[in-house]
Amino acid sequence: MANYTTTNPEWAIQGNSAVMSGIEGIKDTTVGNINPALISGKMKPKRRMVLTEDEIVEGVSNCDRTILSRAITLIESNSPKHFAKAQRVLQRLLPRTGKALRIGITGVPGAGKSTLIEAFGNMLCDNGHKVAVLAVDPTSSITRGSILGDKTRMGTLSRRTEAFIRPSPAGGTLGGVARKSRETMLMCEAAGYDVILIETVGVGQSETIVLSMVDFFMLVVLTGAGDDLQGIKKGIMELADAIVVNKADGDNLVKAKVTRGEYERMIEYIRPATEGWPTHAYLCSAIEKTGLPELWKVIQVFKELTTQSGVFQRRRDSQLLDWMHSMIDEHLHNLFFEDAVITGRMPEVKSAVLNGTISPTQAVAELIKMFDIKRAAERQVDIFNN
Ligand SMILES: Nc1nc2c(ncn2[C@@H]2O[C@H](COP(=O)(O)OP(=O)(O)O)[C@@H](O)[C@H]2O)c(=O)[nH]1
Ligand SMILES: [Mg+2]
């Protein structure tokens, strides 16, 4: 059996030529640059070696960051074979998950989320925590690159051994990004990261995905909110467990205090995001690193209070059931759209709809009639047992 993936692995995301490398430390094996140990057979080219299920489970459990990266790559793979393997790995690691504090961070682009995560993450590492930073950006397959910028913004943190930073999966469907992000989070927990910081791009549906994953959700805002609320929808404020007025430094400090007061007044009219937890606005500066210990304290009090009241666990429980439901949706969706009968007839039906020969509703009715769910399920590779 082939032990090595090719330069264009089958799991590469369709239409996306950038494939993240797995293991670092071995130079490209171009002519003249070959490690003699490789030729003599004394050393295996680790970079391309396919890891066994056991190796991944063990590597992740021991917080081997290289293996963790590869486990996540497996989760992000769109190949059914890799999906099945990732699921088996996850199943075995599941008992190690759930112990981290999951914090979501949203806000308009430029609010300072990445800078804040860098400062906050460093502080937590200094305090003995292990921090995993994830990003959720469902548009990343279109915009690309934006998330890589974030990694440079987190320069210090990314070099720390106590930290692990992973950009958003470029996932195609929204459901795909959601599943991959959640499972990536679980992998990080299994590796022993006890604080998970999840940045959303703050546009589109990234907030919804992150909200469905986290225990504590914070909104980072800029000073000078004024009347227009910086385009922040009231809906997002309703989801926040804390509003963080960032860039409260230098000449901006006075303005930041005013902004904080404005948000405090607005919050009064909004139903709290979490039962029994009053949302407040706080000041901080990611650059000067002020207000960060206070913010951490707030999050800890939140955890304590909601754990006592049972709200913490209830939120996690409902998230789990929601995940399950969305997975069912996704699975049924795939069964239908990947079914040979459906894909075979689809072009014809599509053009009939475009020609005005049949209505979209009629088209759906006919496709559903053609779709034999039992046979479709049989035809599909048995992804859960393979
Ligand atoms: N003065 C000041 N600038 C900040 C602060 N935090 C972030 N910035 C700047 O704001 C800009 C956007 O920050 P970034 O972290 O990329 O924002 P994001 O888009 O929300 O992730 C960058 O130029 C940062 O240097 C802060 O606390 N104070
Ligand atoms: Mg950012």
Q: Considering every ligand atom, which ligand is closest to the CA of 222?
A: 1
Rounded CA separation 282/260 (Å) = 7
Which of 9-18, 23-32, 267-276, 285-294 has the highest mean predicted lDDT (pLDDT)? Answer: 285-294
> Residue 152's pLDDT is what?
63
- Say how many Å lie between the CA of residue 116 and the centre of ligand 1: 8
Pick the atom of ligand 1 nearest to 286's CA. 27
Residue 349 binned pLDDT confidence (cut-offs 50, 70, 90): very high
- Say how many Å lie between the CA of residue 64 and the centre of ligand 1: 31
- Say how many Å lie between the CA of residue 203 and the centre of ligand 2: 12
pTM for the model stands at 0.80
- Summary mean pLDDT of the chain: 83
DSSP string computed for 196-259:
EEEEE-SSTTHHHHHHTT-SEEEEEE-S--TTTGGG--HHHHTT-SEEEE----TTHHHHHHHH
**What is the CB-side half-sphere exposure of residue 299 using CA atoms within 13 A?**
25
Residue ID of nearest Cα to ligand 1 atom 7: 112
Mean pLDDT calculated for residue range 330-352: 90
Residue 49 binned pLDDT confidence (cut-offs 50, 70, 90): confident
- Say how many Å lie between the CA of residue 325 and the centre of ligand 1: 37
- Say how many Å lie between the CA of residue 112 and the centre of ligand 1: 3
Q: Is the CB of 73 within 6 Å of ligand 1? A: no
Kindly report, residue by residue over 133-191, the tens digit of the pLDDT.
Answer: 998 887 765 554 444 445 566 788 888 999 999 988 875 677 788 889 999 999 999 99
**What is the CB-side half-sphere exposure of residue 315 using CA atoms within 13 A?**
21
Q: Among 68-72, 311-315, 339-343, which is the least confidently predicted range?
A: 339-343
Rounded CA separation 157/163 (Å) = 6
Q: Is the CB of 153 within 6 Å of ligand 1? A: yes
- Say how many Å lie between the CA of residue 189 and the centre of ligand 1: 28
Are 166 and 71 within 8 A, CB to CB? no
Tokens of 144: 């690309």
Instruction: Provide the residue ranges of all domains of the chain, joining segments of one domain with +.
Output: 1-95, 97-309, 318-379
**CA distances (Å), origin 35, targets 30, 48, 112, 128, 274:** 10, 14, 43, 38, 57
Q: Is the CB of 286 within 6 Å of ligand 1? A: yes
Structure-model confidence comparison of residues 28 and 348, the more confident one: 348
Q: Among 128-137, 227-236, 257-266, 368-377, which is the least confidently predicted range?
A: 227-236
Mean pLDDT calculated for residue range 261-288: 92
Mean pLDDT calculated for residue range 227-242: 74
- Return the closest-CA partner of residue 218 out of 281, 263, 144: 281
Residue 254 binned pLDDT confidence (cut-offs 50, 70, 90): very high
> Residue 269's pLDDT is what?
87
Share of the chain above pLDDT 70, in %: 78
Residue ID of nearest Cα to ligand 1 atom 3: 247
Rounded CA separation 288/270 (Å) = 31
Tokens of 254: 């006075």
Q: Is the CB of 200 within 6 Å of ligand 1? A: no
Which of 3-17, 55-69, 134-148 has the highest mean predicted lDDT (pLDDT)? Answer: 55-69
Q: Among 225-239, 297-311, 334-348, which is the least confidently predicted range?
A: 225-239
- Say how many Å lie between the CA of residue 344 and the centre of ligand 1: 50
- Domain 1-95 falls under CATH 3.40.190.10: no
> Residue 7's pLDDT is what?
43
Q: Is the CB of 149 within 6 Å of ligand 1? A: no
Sheet holding 195-200, edge to edge: 163-166, 131-136, 195-200, 101-106, 216-221, 242-245, 280-283
91-97 long-range contacts (CB < 8 A, ≥24 apart) are 92/53, 92/57, 93/57, 93/60, 93/61, 93/186, 93/187, 93/190, 94/186, 94/190, 96/61, 96/189, 96/190, 96/192, 97/186, 97/189, 97/190
Q: Considering every ligand atom, which ligand is closest to the CA of 106?
A: 1
> Residue 202's pLDDT is what?
67
H/E element holding 327?
Answer: helix 311-337
Q: Considering every ligand atom, which ligand is closest to the CA of 109?
A: 1
The SS3 of residue 195 is strand
Rounded CA separation 123/383 (Å) = 42
Structure-model confidence comparison of residues 6 and 183, the more confident one: 183
Helices 113-126, 146-153: crossing angle, 10 deg rounding? 40
Are 56 and 67 within 8 A, CB to CB? yes
Q: Considering every ligand atom, which ligand is closest to the CA of 110?
A: 1
Exposed, middle or buried, 87 (CB in 10 Å: 0-12/13-18/19+)?
A: middle
Tokens of 298: 């707030």
Ligand 1, from 115, 156, 221: best to mutate by most atoms within 8 Å of Cβ? 115
Residue ID of nearest Cα to ligand 1 atom 1: 247
Tokens of 99: 């112990």
Residue 73 binned pLDDT confidence (cut-offs 50, 70, 90): very high
Structure-model confidence comparison of residues 27 and 123, the more confident one: 123
> Residue 284's pLDDT is what?
97
Q: Is the CB of 247 within 6 Å of ligand 1? A: yes
Instruction: Kindly give, in sequence order, each residue whose CB lies less than 8 Å from that of residue 206, ignoring residues fewer than 6 positions away.
Output: 106, 136, 137, 138, 139, 200
pLDDT at 22 over 50: no
Residue ID of nearest Cα to ligand 1 atom 17: 112
- Say how many Å lie between the CA of residue 15 and the centre of ligand 2: 25
Residue 200 backbone phi and psi in degrees, to 5 = -105, 155
Kindly report, residue by residue over 90-139, the tens digit of the pLDDT.
Answer: 999 999 999 999 999 998 888 999 999 999 999 999 999 999 999 888 77
Q: Is the CB of 197 within 6 Å of ligand 1? A: no
| CATH code given to domain 97-309 | 3.40.50.300
- Say how many Å lie between the CA of residue 200 and the centre of ligand 2: 8
pLDDT at 300 over 50: yes
Pick the atom of ligand 1 nearest to 285's CA. 27
> Residue 151's pLDDT is what?
58
Residue 324 binned pLDDT confidence (cut-offs 50, 70, 90): very high
Q: Which CATH class is domain 318-379?
A: mainly alpha
